[in-house]
Amino acid sequence: MATALLQTVKLFCERDDRVLIRDLDFALQPGEVVQIEGPNGSGKTTLLRILCGLSDDFSGNILWQGAARRRVDSEFRRDTLYFGHLTGVKFSLSARENLRWILQLKGIPPHAPGLDDRIDQALSNVGLYSYEDVPVYSLSAGQKRRVALARLFVEPADLWVLDEPFTAIDRKGVTQLEGLIQAHAGRGGSVLITTHHALDLPTIRKLQLGLGRGTWQIQ
């Protein structure tokens, strides 16, 4: 069996004296889409934050391509894309400037060949054609989310960690996103996603949280 992209060993997390996750042993293979399910407050976001390194409030081990994550932290961060509730989009910058900055943060040189074309293409893919230079504060709520979603088209990453990516996105956008996720898995990338939306994907595993006292189930 190939090395899992991301693996947890006996992951344990409690919050305010409530056990959210107990002894989670879970492996995410390349090319796999895993949907994390559970009622509100069952720890979906907490788990995602732990998995991508935004929370240290856990015990147990997390392995990235077979090695302890903290040892390969810089590779891990380079190859992971996190899309959270807060999107990191700056309202006084334009969509293009936002995307450009986020890519630079990821270590893409600002003068990479064709970078501008790709950014424009990504923005038109999410339906922001002709909105590229408008300050983001004048866009609608859905469009603001779409600016951040455009990252999925340009940002290079093996692992996508998507926390409720469908919030404020219209039906057509949801279908498009599903296609995008499937294409990413087809290229050998992995996706961890939380959503209350029924995903229309052929192969998908589900990790069920919130079954009481930190128990979980993989389907």
Stretch in the footprint of other proteins (CB under 8 A) among 15-23, 61-69, 172-180, 203-211: 172-180
**What's the closest the beta carbon of residue 86 comes to other proteins, in angstroms?**
3
- Closer to other proteins at the Cβ: 60 or 206? 60
- Closer to other proteins at the Cβ: 45 or 195? 45
Give the whole-angstrom CA distance, residue 78 versus residue 85. Answer: 20
- Single out the residue of 33, 16, 133, 34 nearest to residue 24, CA to CA: 34
**What's the closest the beta carbon of residue 211 comes to other proteins, in angstroms?**
26
C-alpha of 133 from chain center: 26
Cα-atom radius of gyration of the chain, to the nearest Å?
Answer: 18
- Single out the residue of 138, 160, 6, 150 nearest to residue 81, CA to CA: 160
Stretch in the footprint of other proteins (CB under 8 A) among 11-19, 21-29, 148-156, 199-207: 148-156
CB of 79 closer than 8 Å to CB of 106: no
- Closer to other proteins at the Cβ: 1 or 86? 86
Is 60 an interacting residue with respect to other proteins (CB under 8 A)? Answer: no
**What's the closest the beta carbon of residue 188 comes to other proteins, in angstroms?**
11
One residue of 10, 18, 25, 57 binding other proteins per CB under 8 A:
57
Footprint on residues 84-143 left by other proteins (CB under 8 A): 84-93, 97, 101-110, 112, 114-115, 117-118, 121-122, 125, 135
- Single out the residue of 210, 159, 196 nearest to residue 13, CA to CA: 210
Is 15 an interacting residue with respect to other proteins (CB under 8 A)? Answer: no
C-alpha of 89 from chain center: 15
Q: Which residue has the tokens 């603001």?
A: 144
Is 77 an interacting residue with respect to other proteins (CB under 8 A)? Answer: yes
Count interface residues toward other proteins (CB under 8 A). Answer: 50
Is 48 an interacting residue with respect to other proteins (CB under 8 A)? Answer: no
Give the whole-angstrom CA distance, residue 41 versus residue 45. Answer: 9
**Which parts of this chain interact with other proteins (CB under 8 A)?**
52-57, 74-75, 77-78, 80, 82, 84-93, 97, 101-110, 112, 114-115, 117-118, 121-122, 125, 135, 153-156, 176, 179-180, 183
